[in-house]
Chain A
Amino acid sequence: MFTPKIGGAWYGYIVGSLLAGIVLLVVLMQLPQRARKYVLWTVTFLGGLFYALEFFLPTHEMLIEGNKADGNFLSPFVVPMTNVLPVISAFAVGLGVINLFQMHTKRVLKWNLDSINSVAFFVAMIAMTVGHLMAKSPHPSPFATSLYKVLFEGALQSLDATMFSIIAFYITSAAYRAFRIRSLEATLLLATAIIVMLGQITLGQLLTHALPEYLHVEVVRNWILTKVNAPATRAISVGLGIGSLAVGLRIWLGLERGSYFDN
């Protein structure tokens, strides 16, 4: 059932899957709102049940994809699921693109001062798509390669890096504004921040190099991070883990009120 298909069968399966998907979508659209929610909940429940049972049921040594591993009767289906799920999520990207097209087309048609941003969106999107397709063709021309380099390495990567570097400017001004010793807690916070910052840099480490080792700023910093910060973040993580379990359970069992799985 899960063996790769080649040649004509491959095309057949692709077309068949697409048709089945379209039919399913049309049927879902025709269902009344309430019935649609039941369908959604059933799919969610079955999906969750598969992973929960596979995880909790007792295991024994068995052959999975030709390799010896611990598993139960559901384990052989994990690898096919791994291959199927990314395909489903890939289709969702289309939803985003459609939304972007709809919104920016409306804005261009309305035409005002802000429409220029929407025009920029279309120009960038088309340029990136064309540039990528040309460069990834079997025999790319020198122009295509240069275009790809300019767009991806020259523009996209540099713009990404620029946005990340802006954080340095923002954190400097935010720290300057926020770290004021207005209370005992704020003073403790400030002192800790300065120790951790100094412990992070060579200059800070040099300052305390002459002191006994336990007073070295990097040693104090490590102590703060492992003995003060780590337990606190672990405690937060325990709370978050349980919180996540609770929300997961509510969604899985259909107990959550709200538009996605209302009862």
Chain B
Amino acid sequence: MKALRFLQTVDRRVIYVLLMLSVTAPFFLSIRLPMMVSPATQAFYNAIDALQPGDFVLFSSDWEAGTRGENGPQTEAALTHLMRKKCRFAIISFQPQGPKLAQDIAERLGKEYDSVEGRDWINWGYKVDAKNYLKGFVRDIPGVVKTNNKTEPLEKFPVMRGIKTASDIKLLVSITPSNVYQTYIQFVAGPLKVPMVVAPTSVMVPEVFNYLDSKQILGMMPGLPGAGEYEGLLKTNTKVTRFANSASFAHVLIIFLIVMGNIAMVMERRQSARSGGQA
């Protein structure tokens, strides 16, 4: 009876230690779980793959260091694909740290794929008040954006050639842990029929599915597992796959704990019923 009670009331600190072990263990073990690509990730990949060299993409990097674990690999995967396809892109963010984090990744990948800032891509920097900003942005990109993140005028950059309104954007990529993607659907993707893909954190996946199901967005890269799947499609390194293994192990632990607690509860109830309700 005591053991059954214990299994239902495991101290939270013990749970924390178990979780820490399950997350870190895959880094030290050479386990390779096969990666199966979900239809949502495949659709995200197809949307970028269908672009032509020189097509202009709006890359909204609305995340901060807090969600780097998920949004970092997503950004890396999407930017790798854009650079391989020789697409032009502009980084924009409604989070203060967003432009810097995306810039670091773009600079690093740019060296590998010969994608040069100013010629092939540009960073428009941090913007405030997404709803208000996008209302004006869709009508006059140079007039609203004005400069890059280093306050240099946009006209100076070859990457901006021919970009006047949101209709000139061939794809909108939103990497986000917040619902700024809904604002993009409302003001950019919806009214101007700009194709859009979203890379949300895992916790947002059920909500984003609504928009995928209604075809308001073309594809979704769901959290860290999605980034792992994307890496598989791009055939790049297996760094994210290892992170995804951590997520797998953590999920298994959670399921194990829940099942264990419930079995103990049911058994205790039965024992208690047999002994006439004496717990």
| Chain A residues in the interface with B (C-beta under 8 A) | 64-67, 69, 71, 75, 78-83, 85-86, 89-90, 156-158, 160-161, 163-165, 168-169, 171-173, 175-176, 179-181, 190, 193-194, 197-198, 200-206, 218, 222, 225-226, 229-230, 233-234, 237
Looking at B133, B143, B205, B225, the one whose CB has the most chain A CB atoms below 10 A away is B143
Contact B128 A229 (CB under 8 A): no
Contact A198 B68 (CB under 8 A): no
A176–B262 Cα distance when bound, in Å, is 9
A161-B252 in contact given A64-B139, A69-B139, A225-B205 (Cβ < 8 Å): no
Contact A65 B36 (CB under 8 A): no
- Chain B residues positioned under 8 Å from A226 (CB to CB): 209, 213
User: Chain B interface: which size bin?
Assistant: 35 or more
Other than the given A176-B258, A234-B210, 17 more pairs (CB < 8 A) read A65-B139, A69-B165, A157-B64, A161-B68, A168-B23, A168-B250, A173-B12, A176-B261, A179-B258, A197-B255, A200-B202, A202-B34, A202-B36, A202-B245, A203-B251, A218-B38, A230-B213
Chain A, Cβ-Cβ closest to B16 = A169
Count CB-based A-B contacts (< 8 Å): 160
* Interface hits, B193-207 → A, CB 8 Å: 202, 205-207
Contact A204 B251 (CB under 8 A): yes
Instruction: Kindly provide the distance from the CB of A165 to the nearest chain B CB, expressed in whole angstroms.
Output: 7
| Chain B residues in the interface with A (C-beta under 8 A) | 10, 12, 15-16, 19-20, 23, 33-36, 38-39, 64-69, 97, 127-129, 132-133, 135-137, 139-140, 143-144, 164-165, 202, 205-207, 209-210, 213, 222, 225, 244-245, 247-255, 257-259, 261-262, 265-266
- Chain A residues positioned under 8 Å from B135 (CB to CB): 78, 81-82
A225–B10 Cα distance when bound, in Å, is 31
Contact B132 A85 (CB under 8 A): yes
Residues of B contacting A: mostly:
helix
Chain A, Cβ-Cβ closest to B127 = A86
A81–B143 Cα distance when bound, in Å, is 12
- 15 A-B pairs with CB atoms under 8 Å apart are A64-B140, A66-B140, A79-B140, A161-B65, A163-B66, A164-B69, A165-B69, A168-B23, A172-B16, A176-B258, A198-B251, A201-B248, A203-B249, A204-B248, A237-B210
A176–B128 Cα distance when bound, in Å, is 39
Chain B, Cβ-Cβ closest to A229 = B206
A218–B225 Cα distance when bound, in Å, is 13
Contact A65 B248 (CB under 8 A): no
Instruction: Kindly provide the distance from the CB of B80 to the nearest chain A CB, expressed in whole angstroms.
Output: 21
- Chain A residues positioned under 8 Å from B205 (CB to CB): 225
Instruction: Kindly provide the distance from the CB of B252 to the nearest chain A CB, expressed in whole angstroms.
Output: 6
Chain B, Cβ-Cβ closest to A227 = B213
Contact B262 A190 (CB under 8 A): yes
- Chain A residues positioned under 8 Å from B207 (CB to CB): 233
Chain B, Cβ-Cβ closest to A76 = B139
- Chain A residues positioned under 8 Å from B210 (CB to CB): 230, 233-234, 237
- Chain B residues positioned under 8 Å from A197 (CB to CB): 251, 254-255
- Chain B residues positioned under 8 Å from A81 (CB to CB): 132, 135-136
A179-B262 in contact given A86-B129, A225-B209 (Cβ < 8 Å): yes
A67-B165 in contact given A86-B128, A164-B69, A202-B33 (Cβ < 8 Å): yes
Contact A160 B251 (CB under 8 A): no
Contact B251 A161 (CB under 8 A): no
A179–B8 Cα distance when bound, in Å, is 11
- Chain A residues positioned under 8 Å from B66 (CB to CB): 160-161, 163-164
Cβ 8 A contact of B261, one of A66, A82, A180, A194: A180
Chain B, Cβ-Cβ closest to A90 = B128
Instruction: Kindly provide the distance from the CB of A184 to the nearest chain B CB, expressed in whole angstroms.
Output: 14
Looking at A85, A90, A202, the one whose CB has the most chain B CB atoms below 10 A away is A202
Contact A82 B252 (CB under 8 A): no
Instruction: Kindly provide the distance from the CB of A196 to the nearest chain B CB, expressed in whole angstroms.
Output: 8
- Chain A residues positioned under 8 Å from B69 (CB to CB): 161, 164-165
* Pairs of residues from A and B, 4 with the lowest C-beta to C-beta distance, nearest first: A82-B136, A157-B65, A65-B140, A164-B66
Contact B253 A79 (CB under 8 A): no
- Chain B residues positioned under 8 Å from A225 (CB to CB): 205-206, 209
- Chain A residues positioned under 8 Å from B65 (CB to CB): 156-158, 160-161
Contact A200 B251 (CB under 8 A): yes
A4–B127 Cα distance when bound, in Å, is 19
A83–B132 Cα distance when bound, in Å, is 9
A190–B248 Cα distance when bound, in Å, is 18
Contact B244 A202 (CB under 8 A): yes
A86-B35 in contact given A78-B139, A168-B23, A172-B253 (Cβ < 8 Å): no
Instruction: Kindly provide the distance from the CB of B187 to the nearest chain A CB, expressed in whole angstroms.
Output: 11
A157-B68 in contact given A173-B15, A201-B225 (Cβ < 8 Å): yes
A249–B65 Cα distance when bound, in Å, is 38
A49–B133 Cα distance when bound, in Å, is 18
A163–B64 Cα distance when bound, in Å, is 12
